A and B are shown apart, each in its own frame.
Chain A
Amino acid sequence: MTAVFKREFKGYFSSPLGYIFLAVMFFFSGQFFSTLLALSYAQIELVFSSMFTVVTMLIPILTMRLMSEDKKLRIDQLYLTAPVSIGGVVLGKYLAACAVYLIGIAPTILYTIILATFTTPDWNVFLGNFFALALLGAAMLAIGIFVSSTTESQMVAAILSYAILMFIMLFDTIVTALPSGLSFLEPVLRALSFLSRYNDFMSGILNVSHIIFFVSFVVVFNFLTIRVLEKKRWG
């Protein structure tokens, strides 16, 4: 697992991919923060809530290549014939993406420290928000790696992941406009909404069920990715 993690993490920075991801992340979070400063607001959570959309847009970039490239270059053959478990391989790749993602959201720590020079920030709110953004990313990355494992093409993986994440983002909007015949979908969509749970974190609520919700996405989609790889053996 560590070998795969190390390779993938390095891999992000031996191509423009990692740099582009980080640059765009830094640009937008910096942009949100400077707006905050310009308006002399001290609520760091405003930066975090704006990051939801940015993260949705950028996560597919991190995951599109993870599994699809292996499939295309037939490197899955290397992993499946090496004396390692498939779970370790998938997890190594997943954690590498998580690590790059964490670097991407790390500047928010810096922003809060800057805020601290003007006012006393509520560190609990910051921690809760940071934790939420990390969880959100972890769940989305898990979806992304799964999508990537189902195709040989990076482009297909990216577009599919976009579509899925955007769709999830729209759940709250869809709920308000459901035709009466489909109203039975309302509780389902509300339950699956990433945004409303994320917003709960933003308003300072640390709900255990929300944590479990995001963690289960991580577990389920990593598990599915492993199954996709294993399925190949039995096909």
Chain B
Amino acid sequence: MIEVSHLTKKYGQNLALDDVSFHVNRGEILGFLGPNGAGKSTTMNILTGYLSATDGTCTINGHDILEDPIEAKKAIGYLPEQPPLYLDMTVKDYLNFIYDLKKVKLPREAHIKEICGVVRINEVYNRLIKNLSKGYRQRVGVAQAMIGNPEVLILDEPTVGLDPKQIIEIRNLIKSLGERHTIILSSHILPEIQAVCERVVVISKGKLVADDTTANLSKNLSTDRHYRLLIDGPEEKVCSALKSITGMREVQTLGKREEGVYEYQIEAEENVDIRREIFKRLSERSWPLLGLRSSELSLEDIFLQLTNEGGEQK
């Protein structure tokens, strides 16, 4: 459905995107994840034809965005970071204007009414956009993107600035839209991506650092080899004792938690269960083990890990 290959964008000397390639399948909800300033919006702006790439190509539904822009743009509904709303128009006038602008052929009344029903803006249909709350404006923005029933919806941080209730509503809306559209959703908020998307592309400092399903991402990076330990004993001695265990890969002190009690983060070799060995060593030296829990990495940790790695490569 969407093919992005070797996308590079330079702003003067500043490299905003560096050889980014990914693809989106029909009917998929793709999460586009990255810290602020990672190049999410730049990628989306290139995908939608708002900006040009310095190098690389984007194809939407078989149409190159540069060579066949009108056809490619017809397949896209775009909600930019700041919804492009004319504040002095009513929702009704605005949506009709978009309908005309996109030269949509569907039955006008029914089509607009249907969209208003889906994004639930019927109650503000005749009000001026400047009098609407941020949440409603955002929904009008989504409605605008949906006009003409484009196959692809590209939503750039659709929940920014909304209150928690509105965020949940918009998320549910996106999920339900996913049944009929291919969606790219950008965000720097992980739970959002986790809640809505099947696949995630992580981008950091203009580089693609991961492209996988949400489930796989968590699995790959967090097998049960990571543990958090809480041990009552002298820090250095405990550390060296832990390190001497066969199968131990890394020991890290996280800090003092109570008087004489330190927390450690350890990582074991693959396929080795070292929990019993740890207990044995500690009991030999009478250092009470106050806590042992496997620290499965959340998507949050993975994200930090990935984006930091991306930084180091640079």
Whether a CB of chain B sits under 8 angstroms from the CB of A3 is: yes
Q: Are B51 and A233 in contact (CB under 8 A)?
A: yes
Q: Are B73 and A75 in contact (CB under 8 A)?
A: no
A-contact 0/1 string along B28-61, CB 8 Å cutoff: 0000000000000000010011111000000000
Binds B, one of A50-58, A76-84, A98-106, A177-185: A76-84
List, sorted by A's number, 27 A–B pairs whose CB atoms are closer than 8 Å: A2-B100, A3-B101, A6-B100, A7-B86, A7-B89, A7-B97, A11-B89, A14-B89, A73-B86, A75-B85, A76-B84, A77-B45, A80-B50, A81-B73, A81-B80, A82-B73, A82-B101, A83-B73, A83-B74, A84-B101, A84-B102, A85-B70, A232-B51, A233-B49, A233-B50, A234-B52, A235-B11
Whether a CB of chain A sits under 8 angstroms from the CB of B78 is: yes
B-contact 0/1 string along A63-92, CB 8 Å cutoff: 000000000011111111111110000000
Whether a CB of chain A sits under 8 angstroms from the CB of B88 is: yes
Instruction: Quote the shortest CB–CB distance from B190 to chain A (angstroms).
Output: 26
B-contact 0/1 string along A198-210, CB 8 Å cutoff: 0000000000000
- Contact among A3, A75, A85, A233 for B86, CB-based, below 8 A: A75
Given A6-B100, A74-B80, A78-B98, 19 further pairs, Cβ under 8 A: A3-B103, A7-B86, A11-B88, A14-B88, A14-B89, A73-B82, A73-B86, A75-B85, A75-B86, A77-B80, A78-B84, A80-B49, A81-B78, A82-B73, A83-B73, A84-B101, A232-B51, A233-B52, A235-B51
Instruction: Quote the shortest CB–CB distance from A42 to chain B (angstroms).
Output: 44
**Once bound together, how far apart are the Cα atoms of A232 and B11, in whole Å?**
12
Q: Are B73 and A3 in contact (CB under 8 A)?
A: no
Whether a CB of chain A sits under 8 angstroms from the CB of B87 is: yes
Please indicate the chain A residues that have their CB under 8 angstroms from the CB of B84 in the complex: 73-78
Please indicate the chain A residues that have their CB under 8 angstroms from the CB of B115 in the complex: none
Whether a CB of chain B sits under 8 angstroms from the CB of A36 is: no
Whether a CB of chain B sits under 8 angstroms from the CB of A40 is: no
Chain B: residues with Cβ within 8 Å of the partner, total of 30
Q: Are A6 and B89 in contact (CB under 8 A)?
A: no
Please indicate the chain A residues that have their CB under 8 angstroms from the CB of B76 in the complex: 81
Count chain B CB atoms within 10 A of each CB in A73, A83, A234 and give the residue with the most: A83
Please indicate the chain A residues that have their CB under 8 angstroms from the CB of B73 in the complex: 81-83
Instruction: Quote the shortest CB–CB distance from A71 to chain B (angstroms).
Output: 11
**Once bound together, how far apart are the Cα atoms of A7 and B100, in whole Å?**
10
**Once bound together, how far apart are the Cα atoms of A7 and B87, in whole Å?**
12
Residue in A closest to B66 when the chains form the complex, CB atoms = A233
**Once bound together, how far apart are the Cα atoms of A14 and B86, in whole Å?**
11
**Once bound together, how far apart are the Cα atoms of A82 and B74, in whole Å?**
7
Q: A80-B50, A81-B73, A233-B51 are in contact. Are A74 and B97 (CB under 8 A)?
A: no
Residue in A closest to B11 when the chains form the complex, CB atoms = A235
**Once bound together, how far apart are the Cα atoms of A4 and B99, in whole Å?**
11
Please indicate the chain B residues that have their CB under 8 angstroms from the CB of A235 in the complex: 11, 51
Whether a CB of chain B sits under 8 angstroms from the CB of A15 is: yes
- Contact among B51, B97, B103 for A6, CB-based, below 8 A: B97
Q: A81-B73, A81-B76, A83-B73 are in contact. Are A15 and B88 (CB under 8 A)?
A: yes
Please indicate the chain A residues that have their CB under 8 angstroms from the CB of B48 in the complex: 81
Please indicate the chain B residues that have their CB under 8 angstroms from the CB of A232 in the complex: 51
Residue in A closest to B156 when the chains form the complex, CB atoms = A77
Instruction: Quote the shortest CB–CB distance from A15 to chain B (angstroms).
Output: 6
Please indicate the chain A residues that have their CB under 8 angstroms from the CB of B50 in the complex: 77, 80-81, 233
B-contact 0/1 string along A224-235, CB 8 Å cutoff: 000000001111
